[in-house]
Structure 1
Amino acid sequence: MSSSSSVSGNTYFHRRHVERGTPKQCWCGKPAELCTSASRANPGRLYYCCRKGYIKRHLFKWADECLVEEVEDMKSVMSDMTKGISDLRVDVGRLEKELGKAEKMKCLMFPVVVCGFGMAIFWHYFFA
């Protein structure tokens, strides 16, 4: 247990200086490099580090943790998009109802317009 707490504390220290997801570069400006761990504890595990190499307080981030962060961020984006799509569907339904009402009004207005036009012709010929 003590080793896991020291690892999580160490991971927290590194994460304070690194953006979420896959890092593009170290805080010193050097590009991030994808490397493979050769340690006994993490053989073959991929990680990002500073091109200067693993120097204390420079970039170090496990690649699998980067992917987990990116998936978590995408879940949030997808949730927001899903809510936006739901809102749009509600708006489309409301607009379809309004369009149906407008079509009905058009059908009701046609006789009124024809009648008004007929009265204008009648007025023109008989009273003008």
Structure 2
Amino acid sequence: MSNVSSNSTESSLQGRGRAIGVPKRCWCGEGIISLISKSDSNPYRRYYRCQFAVANKLRNDEHTFKWVDEAFVNEIDTLNAKNADLEKQLKEIRTERFEFEKMVYEKMEKEIFEKVEDGLSEAKASHKKIMIVLVFFCMIMIGLTKLLG
């Protein structure tokens, strides 16, 4: 383990690009290990380091180095951003679903009203026929009572 003294801006930068979140591999292809700092400026602070750089005791190189707490904050920020995106997508899906359901209900309502109107039209036609038959029957009855009476 090496004595590491670095401020947080230097620690979050890599020579070959910025490592976001918990690093898995160094740019050189080596794995990452977790170590504990023994420096006076950061005693017992955990950090991630390239296995190659640790094995060769390299210092101030371009291999991956990142404080664990900063990596976790990056991970949390990334998860918060993903969560916000998912909430936005969910809101859009709910809006689309609401619009779809509204369209379906309006179509169903229209079909139901058409069927009710058709039923009422048939009932009115049937009612008219019955009324005509009854009026005709009443006229016959009145005529028969005058003829017989």
Larger Rg: 2
CA drift at 1:109? 3.4
Q: Which residue of 2 aligns with 1:23?
A: 23
TM-score w.r.t. length of structure 1? 0.72
3-state SS of the aligned residue for 1:77? Answer: helix
1:50 counterpart = 2:50: yes
- 1:46 is matched by which residue type in structure 2? R
RMSD of aligned residue pairs (Cα, Å): 2.6
What runs of 5+ residues in structure 2 fail to find an aligned partner?
A: 1-5, 122-149
> Which residue does 1:7 correspond to in 2?
7
Match of 2:95 in 1: 90
CA 1:62 to 1:15, structure 2 compared with 1: closer, same or farther past 3 Å? Answer: farther
Figure out how many residues of one structure are paired with residues of the other and give that number.
111
Question: Residue 59 of structure 1 is aligned with which of 57, 64, 83?
Answer: 64
Secondary structure at the aligned position of 1:21 is classed as coil
Equivalent residues of 2:12, 2:67 under 8 A apart: no
- Regions of 4+ moved over 4 Å: 111-115
TM-score of the superposed pair, with normalisation by structure 2? 0.63
Matched-pair identity in %:
28
Q: Cα–Cα, structure 1 residues 71 and 47, in superposed 2: closer, same or farther, change >3 Å?
A: same
Contact 2:21–2:74, Cα closer than 8 Å, also in 1: yes
Query: Which runs of no fewer than 5 residues in structure 1 stay unpaired?
Result: 1-5, 116-128
- Kept after mapping to 1: 8 A contact 2:46/2:67: yes
C-alpha displacement of 1:7? 2.7
